[in-house]
Amino acid sequence: MSQRHYTFPPVFNEDEREQFARRLSSWYLANRRAMQWHGADAYSVWVSEIMLQQTQAATVTDYYNRFMKAFPTVHHLANAPIETVLTHWSGLGYYARARNLHRAAQVVVTQFGGLVPDQQEALLSLPGVGRYTAGAILSIAFNRQVPLVDANVERVISRLFVMDEPPSSSHGKANLWAIAEQLVPATSPGMFNQGLMELGATVCTPTDPACPQCPVEPFCKAARTPNPAQWPPRLQGKKIVQETHCSVIVRNNSGGVYLLKRPQKGLWGGLWEFPRVICIPQESPSVAARRAAAEILQVKVGTPSVMAVIRHTVTHHNITLYGCEAVPHEEPVTGERIKLVPIDCLNDYPFAAPQVLLRTALTNRRDVEVQQALNL
C-alpha cells in the first residue's frame, strides 16, 4: 500500500473502507456506461479526461472518437499543427484545453520519449495537467493508489459525510482530497475512482439524487436527512452577464466569405470567426453589423439582413449572437488574420461553438440556394 498523506480525521475504519470499496466497485462493474476510453492506455485516458473537464460525457464521445482517429498516438498529436488540432476540437469549447494538450504532447515526445509519464511530479509538469487529471491517469492507466476529485466526486463525498465547507473554498477542497485519499483502495484504484465519478454522474446527481439506488447508501449521512441535495454547500456564484454580439457575413462576387482569426490569448483564442463585435446598449444588429465591417474589414457594406440568431452560454455569459449578411461596397483587404474562404472550405477552419452554429446556418442556406438554382 502506498504511503498516506491525508490530514483529515479518519472517516472509516479499515473494515468499513474495504466494504465501501467493494460495494462501489461491484456496482460500477455492473452499471457503468459504455465509453470508448474505459480500459484504454495512458494517452487515451489523458485525452478523454481533458475533454471531460467542464463537458458532459455524452457530448465528449463523438469528439473523442474523431480526435483519436486523427491523432491516434501522442506522436501524431505532437507533430500536428495547432490549427489542425483546434479544427478537430472545434465546437467542444474551452479551447485552452486543446492548446495545452498539444503543448503537453510535444513535451512528452521531447522529454519523455513519447511515453506518458507514470509519476505524479512529471505529469503535473505538463501544461494543462492538474491534480485531478494526474490522478485519473495514474489510477486508471497505471493502477496506482492515487485519489482524484472532480465535480461528481465532490458531490458524492460531500453528501457521504455532510461536509459543511463549500468545495470551492480552500479548506473544503483540502478536506475533499484528504478524504478521497483515505477512500481509494490499493486494489483496483482506477475502477474505484471511476466508480465514484460514475456514481455522481448517474445516481448522486445535483438536484435529484436516487438514494434508494445507491450502492453505498448505508454509509451516507446525507441520505438519512430530508434533503440530501442540499450538499455540497455553495459559495455565492458570479452574476450571469447578458451580452449581444453581432457577426457580419460578407461575401465577395465568387461567393466566398471573409473570416477573422482571433488573437491567441483570451476567449476563443486562435480560432476563426465571422467578423464580430459586442453590441453597445440599444444598438441594432444592422448597425452593429455595419460597425463590424468598418472596424474589422475596413469596408462599408449595404443594408445588412439578419440570417440567424444563436444563443450560447460560456463562463458566466449568456450570449445572443446575430449573424447578418451584407454586400461590401469594395473588396476587403486580406492578410494573415483576414481570409477570403470558399463556403465549401469553412469546415477546414476551427470555430467556437456559437460560430459553428452560424457556419451551419450559412452552409444550409447555401445548399437551399444551390437547389433553387438547379430547379430553375
Contact (CB, 8 A) for 249 and 326: yes
Task: Measure the CA–CA gap between 273 and 267, rounded to whole angstroms.
Answer: 12
- Positions annotated as catalytic residues are 49
Task: Provide DSSP, 275-297.
Answer: -EEEPPTT--HHHHHHHHIIIII
Sheet with 338-341: list strands edge to edge: 272-273, 257-261, 338-341
Where does the chain have alpha helices with state H?
14-31, 42-52, 57-70, 74-79, 82-89, 96-111, 120-124, 131-136, 142, 151-160, 170-183, 189-202, 285-292, 353-375
Return the CA Rg of the chain: 25
Task: Measure the CA–CA gap between 194 and 296, rounded to whole angstroms.
Answer: 47
Cell 482530497 belongs to which residue? 177
Q: Which residues face 318 on adjacent strands? A: 242, 313
Contact (CB, 8 A) for 233 and 312: no
